[in-house]
Structure 1
Amino acid sequence: MAVQVLIRALLLGSLIVSFASMANDDRYQIGAGDTLSIRVFEEPELAIRAMVPESGRIQFPLIGQILVLNNTPGEVADQVTKALLDGYLVKPEVTVTIESYRPIFIKGAVNRSGRHEFLFDLDVEQAIAIAGGLTDRASGEKWFIVRDAEKIKVTAKTPVMPGDVIIVEESIF
């Protein structure tokens, strides 16, 4: 029993570390629909939580609007730090994390098409399962992802990214 509890705790811990590492990964570009948390160390009045609108601009205390769209969390932290150094704070320590990612959309020959929450390490097959599985008329190979306005043919193991639109076409009998 104690071993099972320990194993569960270790698994949960690794999931949290995986989540945190992706949330702070400086390769991830922020998109419309992501929710950001921006904090300045020892400055609680400068802590904000904001969903990124289509314009890509969010309001930050003292600074005003800042463009976050297509920037990494590190780039946004640098931008806020530079602005705060301009007459507001002596040595600001800014942290930007992504609290939640933009949703994915699954459409076509699945049982529950529509908007679904993005989950880490998700592949196309798992996304289809989240959408209730394939319908009887679904194609087993005509699967696509629309990402950055480009339609890409995919397989079951293709990774899904925040904001992806997964399309499952019907097979022709």
Structure 2
Amino acid sequence: MKNIMNKGQLLMMVLAMLWITSIGNAIAAAGDKKESALGPGDTLKIFVFGQPDMTTEVKVSETGNITFPLLGEIFVDGLTPSETERKIVNLLESKDILRKPQVNIITASLQSQMVSVLGYVRNQGRYPIEGKRRLTEILAMAGGIVPDGADQITLIRSGGSKYSKEVIDVLEMIRSGDLTRDLNIRSDDLVYVERAPRFYIYGEVQRAGVYKLERNMTVMQALSVGGGLTQRGTERGLRIQRRDTEGNLQILTAKASDLVEPDDVIYIKESLF
């Protein structure tokens, strides 16, 4: 009988060691990330060593509370998982429920730490930001910028009752290698990718239509995008319809080397000879 008890105790010790190891591995995997504060909607897995009845999975309520066995409601909104662990430990000890309890918390999901990505990305939506996430990482999570998307990203973030707006040139940042503009994204930030600037071309070109305006594109390059001139087309007398800063329509005579501006309408005339 004694041997049976010893084997049972040994088995319990092995299981306990495996449990501690699994918890430790999960914590170590997240150890390199800065902890995010908890908030409504977050789901937590709480483990109390040696107390399986207290092991539970809870969701932070809209009021910022969780419900824990024998303790009832505990306010955790704004606390990190580590701070929540210490708070539960202190409550268990102060109420004489357990002595020196070992509490571990794993965040199953952080619904309160979300960023919105809208506009010309492959997958618009809200994405979790557990730990530090940079702008390029968030764009990658959203599937990247679609071909019609602009190279410049608008970042809108809340500062209490006020909002700030910042425009980040992603293409220039990557070309220059200056990643200081690859900002850390915070909860409730809005990342918006606008449509890329466009130009219009019609008249005696092979493929009249609307096209994406590349940086520093010349009229000659715009003609190439449109498939070039038809047999009746001519480069003489090129016209560009362009609106000024007040919205008034202007008709300009253009040269092949002139730069095209957003929303320009290029007209190719028919040759008279």
* TM, length-normalised to structure 1: 0.71
Shift of 1:76: 1.1
The aligned residue for residue 154 of structure 2 is 143
Contact 2:36–2:130 (CA under 8 A) maintained in structure 1: no
The aligned residue for residue 135 of structure 2 is 124
Cα distance in structure 2, aligned partners of 1:118 and 1:30: 12
Cα distance in structure 1, aligned partners of 2:44 and 2:158: 21
Listed as ranges, the matches of 1:13-32 within 5 Å are 19-22=29-32, 25=34, 27-32=35-40
Cα distance in structure 1, aligned partners of 2:159 and 2:123: 24
Gaps of 5+ in 2: 1-25, 171-181, 198-261, 263-273
- Residue 37 (1) aligns with residue 48 (2): no
* Equivalent residue in structure 2 for 1:94, among 103, 113, 117: 103
The aligned residue for residue 117 of structure 2 is 106
Gaps of 5+ in 1: 1-15
Contact 2:42–2:60 (CA under 8 A) maintained in structure 1: yes
Shift of 1:41: 1.3
Shift of 1:43: 0.6
Q: How many residues align?
A: 156
* Equivalent residue in structure 2 for 1:166, among 179, 188, 191: 191
Describe the shift of the 1:43–1:148 C-alpha distance in structure 2 as closer, same or farther (beyond 3 A).
farther
Identity %: 27
Task: Output the amino acid matched with 2:117.
Answer: I
Larger radius of gyration: 2
Cα distance in structure 2, aligned partners of 1:41 and 1:55: 28
Cα distance in structure 1, aligned partners of 2:138 and 2:37: 21
Question: What does the per-residue CA deviation read over 1:135-163, in whole Å, with 9 as the maximum and x for residues that have no partner?
Answer: 45533224204356544526452233455
* TM, length-normalised to structure 2: 0.48
Flag the structure with more relative contact order, 1 or 2, with Cα contacts below 8 A and sequence separation at least 6: 1
Cα distance in structure 1, aligned partners of 2:106 and 2:183: 26
Cα distance in structure 1, aligned partners of 2:27 and 2:69: 30
Describe the shift of the 1:51–1:134 C-alpha distance in structure 2 as closer, same or farther (beyond 3 A).
same
Describe the shift of the 1:41–1:74 C-alpha distance in structure 2 as closer, same or farther (beyond 3 A).
same
Describe the shift of the 1:135–1:35 C-alpha distance in structure 2 as closer, same or farther (beyond 3 A).
same
RMSD of aligned residue pairs (Cα, Å):
3.0
Describe the shift of the 1:19–1:106 C-alpha distance in structure 2 as closer, same or farther (beyond 3 A).
farther
Contact 1:32–1:69 (CA under 8 A) maintained in structure 2: yes
Cα distance in structure 1, aligned partners of 2:79 and 2:32: 15
